[in-house]
Amino acid sequence: MATSEPSVARPGLRERKKQQTRDTIARVALELFAERGYDETTLAEIADAADVSTRTIFAYFHSKEDILFCEEPAFIEQLKQALEQRPSGVTTIDVLRDFIQSSGPPDQHRKLRKQIVRSNEELRLGERGRFARVEDLIAESIARDLGAGPGDIRPPLVAASMTAAFFSMSERLESKSGEPISHEQAMAVADQVLVFLRSGLDGLARS
C-alpha cells in the first residue's frame, strides 16, 4: 500500500492575518522610505499608510530599522541551516556559492531596500553591524573546514575578509549606466571572488 507524503500544516487564520499585517507594514514602510527618505518618514505615517495603529507596529517591530531589515532574521536562519547541515566534503565556500545562486535576482523590494540603505550612511553602518552574525556563522563553518580549535584566529580573520569582499562587491555591482547588472553577471563576479577565497582557504588548510 502506497504511503502519501506528510502534509505540511497550513497556518491558522489568525497567524495568516498576523503575517499579512506584518507584510503590509513592511511593504508600505519601504515605499515611504524610498519616496520621502528614511529619516523623514515617521512611524505615524507608516501606521497611517498601513491602516494600523502605531501600537500595532510595535507589536511586530521594535523600530524603523527593524522594519527596513525585516528579512534579515530569515536570511540568517537559512544560511545557518545551510552551513550546519552541509554534507561531509562540502566546504563553506561551496555552501556560500549555492546560497548566493539560489537567492536569485533581487525583487523590487530588495532593490528598494538597497537603494534606501545606500543613500544613508548611518544605515550602511547599521547594515554592516547587523551582518556581524553572518560573519560569526561563516567563521564557525570555516573553523570546521580547518579543524581549528577555539583559540585559532584564522577562521574569524578569513570570515572578516569574506564578508568585506562581498560587501564591496555588492556595492559595486552596477553596469556603466549605473543600473544593477544581471544575476548571471553578478554570479560570474561572485565566482571569481570565491575562487580567490577558496585558494586562500586551501592554502591555510595545507599549512
Q: What is the model's pLDDT at position 176? A: 44
CA dist 186 and 190 (Å) reads: 6
| pLDDT digits 0-9 by tens, 107-153 | 788 888 888 998 899 998 888 888 888 999 999 999 998 888 888 98
Which residues share a beta bridge with 174?
A: 180
- Range with lowest mean pLDDT among 8-12, 45-49, 150-154: 8-12
pTM of the model: 0.76
Q: What is the model's pLDDT at position 111? A: 81
Sequence letter at residue 172: R
Give the E-state strand segments of 94-159 in sequence order: none
Tell me which residue has cell 548566493. 100
Print the SS3 string covering 153-183: CHHHHHHHHHHHHHHHHHHHCECCCCCECCH
Neighbour-count burial for 131-147, b at 16+ CB within 10 Å, e otherwise: beebbbbbbbbbbebbe
Q: Which residues contact 162 (CB under 8 A, 6 or more apart)?
A: 96, 135, 138, 197
User: Cα-flanking dihedrals φ and ψ of residue 136, to 5°?
Assistant: -65, -45
Q: How many residues does the chain have?
A: 207
Q: What is the model's pLDDT at position 9? A: 59
Q: Taking the CB of residue 207, how many other CB atoms lie within 10 A of it?
A: 7
| pLDDT digits 0-9 by tens, 94-107 | 898 888 888 777 77
Question: How would residue 172 be classed by pLDDT, with cut points 50, 70 and 90?
Answer: low
Tell me which residue has cell 556581524. 132
Q: What is the model's pLDDT at position 1? A: 42
Q: Taking the CB of residue 158, how many other CB atoms lie within 10 A of it?
A: 22
Mean pLDDT in the chain? 84
Q: What is the model's pLDDT at position 48? A: 97
Q: What is the model's pLDDT at position 148? A: 87
Question: How would residue 29 be classed by pLDDT, with cut points 50, 70 and 90?
Answer: very high
* Residue 174 pLDDT > 60: no
